[in-house]
């Protein structure tokens, strides 16, 4: 046998750098806002280009249908029957119910694999002095709003640069001012990207647009449209998201790292308004032919626009209708990064790596959602092409055939007792009891207990921000 000396090309055997991962959540954007999903009046050329250069998904599901639990589902890899955050729960004076210390997050997994990590925009998973602080959950750098309520203003008096207040001149936080928050957040994001281009990085970019209030610094191409101010502002917000996503992709290309970076662009819940609302009736996009919107359990509340872009790896121009959900992102990232997740890691998701590369989505028994809003938590499940919705523990289970009836207009429960039983089994199995999230709804006693456990005394200074050291937990 002749042995031949084969020189190995320089670097051929060196492990290639694991891919960067950027997950973008545009707050409250509707699937139908984007040109590539059928929008005619609002311009989204860069996202349409992203879809053409990547893959567009028709049945991508949010964590659930409001902000905090939906992003928590992404961040923890858990559906909302297991996720420690299952509703919007504000902890006055600023911030939301924190993620617990022991929760393993996607940012912690990234750090364990040697990635640099950052979050920009709206956090919503705990104030800086709680277990849910971004810096307690694996994030190296943060710039933006900690609290969802604070994020209602696009001209706030302050943002946070890491945990330190960053003062915005010319703003009062109540109306249109001089310094547009998204401008600063985008700039900080681009700067961080440039400074971390030579190492693997994970970025969660939680863009606050186009969530209300509909405030914009420039109506741009919509200035002279015969629309209401609110309609112009909304269109300009969506186009601003588009422009900023364009800058993000251009920057990756300029840095020469586009082909080693996966971007997933989506929104945290379906449209936040009805098709009959001032914005909905102008742009005819609110539900994109689906039933329901934000805070509900129908498809219009849970399905989102979703684009994956990774030049050379994610197929260009693919449009696919297989279902997947936010809680798949963490196991997907575990496989992509080669990370060994920290102890305590668990997930309800499945890796989508083969699917992203052009294969089929993983098979699974079911998807499950719950959402806690006041005294009436709601639940939903999808198994195969069947969808089950229960609008409260004391309400009947509704059954829809998504293959024949994507608009969920014909409840089949009365003729399909077998499917109702299957839904009951899923609802029973998927919901892990949690004292913060009783399925029977929150009682007065429960609210008092939660208030006592989570109220934090803080003093605001004159500029409105809360010094992180001025904190005292009420026992």
Binding site for Ca ion (CB under 5 A): 27-28, 67, 268-269
Q: How far is the CB of 67 from Ca ion (least distance, A)?
A: 4
Residue 150 or 196 with smaller CB distance to Ca ion: 150
* Half-sphere exposure of residue 455: CA atoms within 13 angstroms, side-chain side: 9
How is 272-340 classified by DSSP, letter by letter?
Answer: SS-TTSHHHHHHS-SSTT-S--TTSSSHHHHEEEEEEE-TTTSPTTEEE---EEGGGHHHHHHHHHT--
Nearest-angstrom CA–CA distance, 299 and 407: 8
Residue 99 or 252 with smaller CB distance to Ca ion: 99
Q: How far is the CB of 238 from Ca ion (least distance, A)?
A: 14
Q: How far is the CB of 167 from Ca ion (least distance, A)?
A: 26
Q: What share of the chain is helix, strand, coil (3-state, %, to 5)?
A: 30, 20, 55
Q: How far is the CB of 301 from Ca ion (least distance, A)?
A: 11
Residue 31 or 269 with smaller CB distance to Ca ion: 269
Q: How far is the CB of 80 from Ca ion (least distance, A)?
A: 14
Residue 212 or 468 with smaller CB distance to Ca ion: 212
How is 192-215 classified by DSSP, letter by letter?
Answer: HHHHTTTS-EEEEEEE-TTSSS--
CA distances from 220 to 187, 243, 253, 265 (A): 19, 12, 26, 23
Residue nearest to Ca ion (CB): 67
Q: How far is the CB of 251 from Ca ion (least distance, A)?
A: 26
Residue 65 or 157 with smaller CB distance to Ca ion: 65
Say which residues have a Cβ less than 8 Å from residue 228's Cβ, sequence separation at least 6.
Answer: 278, 282
Residue 62 or 99 with smaller CB distance to Ca ion: 62
Nearest-angstrom CA–CA distance, 355 and 361: 5
As given in the structure block, the two tokens for residue 474 are 């009420």
Residue 109 or 216 with smaller CB distance to Ca ion: 216
- The string over 207-226, giving b where at least 16 C-beta atoms fall within 10 Å of a residue's C-beta and e elsewhere, is bbbbbbebbbbebeebeeee
Residue 29 or 106 with smaller CB distance to Ca ion: 29
Q: How far is the CB of 365 from Ca ion (least distance, A)?
A: 28
Q: How far is the CB of 35 from Ca ion (least distance, A)?
A: 21
Which own/partner contact pairs does 128-131 have at CB distance under 8 Å and 24+ positions apart? 128/160, 128/163, 128/468, 129/456, 129/468, 129/471, 130/91, 130/95, 130/98, 130/456, 131/98, 131/99, 131/100, 131/101
Check if the beta carbon of residue 104 is closer than 8 Å to that of residue 341.
Answer: yes
Check if the beta carbon of residue 469 is closer than 8 Å to that of residue 459.
Answer: no
Residue 66 or 107 with smaller CB distance to Ca ion: 66
**Residue 412, SS3 per DSSP:** coil
Residue 241 or 361 with smaller CB distance to Ca ion: 241
Angle between helix 67-76 and 329-337 (nearest 10): 30
Q: How far is the CB of 330 from Ca ion (least distance, A)?
A: 20
Residue 48 region, left (φ>0) first, then alpha (ψ -120 to 50), else beta?
Answer: alpha
Residue 152 or 446 with smaller CB distance to Ca ion: 152
Residue 374 region, left (φ>0) first, then alpha (ψ -120 to 50), else beta?
Answer: left
Q: How far is the CB of 26 from Ca ion (least distance, A)?
A: 9
Paired with 79 in beta bridges are none
Residue 67 or 110 with smaller CB distance to Ca ion: 67
Nearest-angstrom CA–CA distance, 101 and 109: 14
Q: How far is the CB of 304 from Ca ion (least distance, A)?
A: 10
Check if the beta carbon of residue 318 is closer than 8 Å to that of residue 311.
Answer: no
Angle at 117 between CA 105 and CA 350, to 5 degrees: 40
The phi, psi pair for 252, rounded to 5°, reads -60, -40
Q: How far is the CB of 268 from Ca ion (least distance, A)?
A: 4
Distance between first and last Cα of the chain? 78
């Amino acid at each position: 046998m002749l042995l031949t000396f084969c020189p190995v090309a320089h670097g051929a055997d060196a492990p290639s750098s694991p891919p960067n991962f950027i997950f973008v959540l545009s707050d409250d954007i509707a699937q139908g806002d984007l040109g590539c999903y059928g929008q005619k009046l609002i311009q989204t050329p860069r996202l349409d280009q992203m879809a053409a250069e990547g893959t567009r998904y028709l049945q991508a599901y949010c964590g659930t249908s409001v902000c905090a639990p939906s992003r928590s589902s992404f961040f923890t890899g858990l559906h909302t029957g297991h996720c420690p955050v299952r509703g919007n729960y504000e902890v006055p004076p600023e911030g939301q119910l924190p993620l617990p210390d022991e929760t393993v997050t996607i940012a912690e997994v990234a750090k364990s694999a040697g990635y640099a990590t950052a979050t920009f925009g709206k956090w919503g998973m705990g104030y800086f002095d709680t277990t849910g602080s971004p810096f307690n959950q694996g994030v190296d750098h943060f710039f933006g709003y900690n609290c969802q309520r604070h994020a209602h203003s696009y001209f706030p008096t302050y943002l946070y640069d890491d945990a330190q207040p960053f003062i915005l001149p010319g703003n009062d936080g109540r109306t249109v001012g001089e310094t547009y928050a998204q401008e600063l957040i985008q700039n900080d994001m681009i700067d961080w990207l440039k400074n971390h281009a030579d190492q693997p990085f994970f970025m969660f970019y939680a863009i606050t647009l186009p969530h209300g209030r509909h405030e914009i610094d420039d109506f741009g191409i919509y200035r002279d449209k015969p629309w209401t101010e609110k309609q112009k502002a909304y269109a300009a917000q969506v186009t601003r998201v588009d422009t900023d996503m364009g800058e993000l992709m251009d920057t990756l290309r300029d840095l020469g790292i586009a082909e080693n970076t996966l971007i997933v662009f989506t929104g945290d819940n379906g449209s936040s308004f009805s098709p009959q609302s001032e914005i909905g009736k102008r742009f005819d996009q609110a539900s994109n032919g689906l039933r329901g919107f934000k805070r509900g359990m129908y498809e219009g509340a849970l399905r989102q626009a979703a684009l994956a872009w990774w030049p050379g790896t994610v197929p260009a121009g693919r449009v696919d209708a297989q279902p997947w959900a936010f809680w798949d992102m963490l196991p997907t990232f575990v496989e992509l990064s080669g990370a060994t997740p920290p102890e305590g890691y668990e997930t309800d998701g499945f890796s989508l790596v083969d699917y992203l590369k052009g294969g089929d989505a993983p098979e699974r028994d079911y998807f499950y959602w719950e959402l806690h809003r006041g005294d009436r938590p709601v639940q939903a499940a999808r198994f195969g092409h069947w969808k089950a919705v229960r609008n409260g523990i004391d309400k009947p289970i509704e059954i829809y055939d998504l293959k024949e009836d994507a608009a969920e207009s014909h409840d089949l429960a009365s003729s399909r007792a077998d499917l109702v039983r299957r839904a009951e089994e899923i609802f029973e199995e998927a919901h892990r009891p949690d004292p913060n999230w009783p399925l029977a709804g929150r009682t007065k006693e429960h609210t008092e207990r939660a208030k006592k456990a989570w109220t934090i005394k803080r003093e605001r200074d004159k500029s409105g921000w809360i010094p992180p050291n001025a904190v005292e937990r009420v026992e």
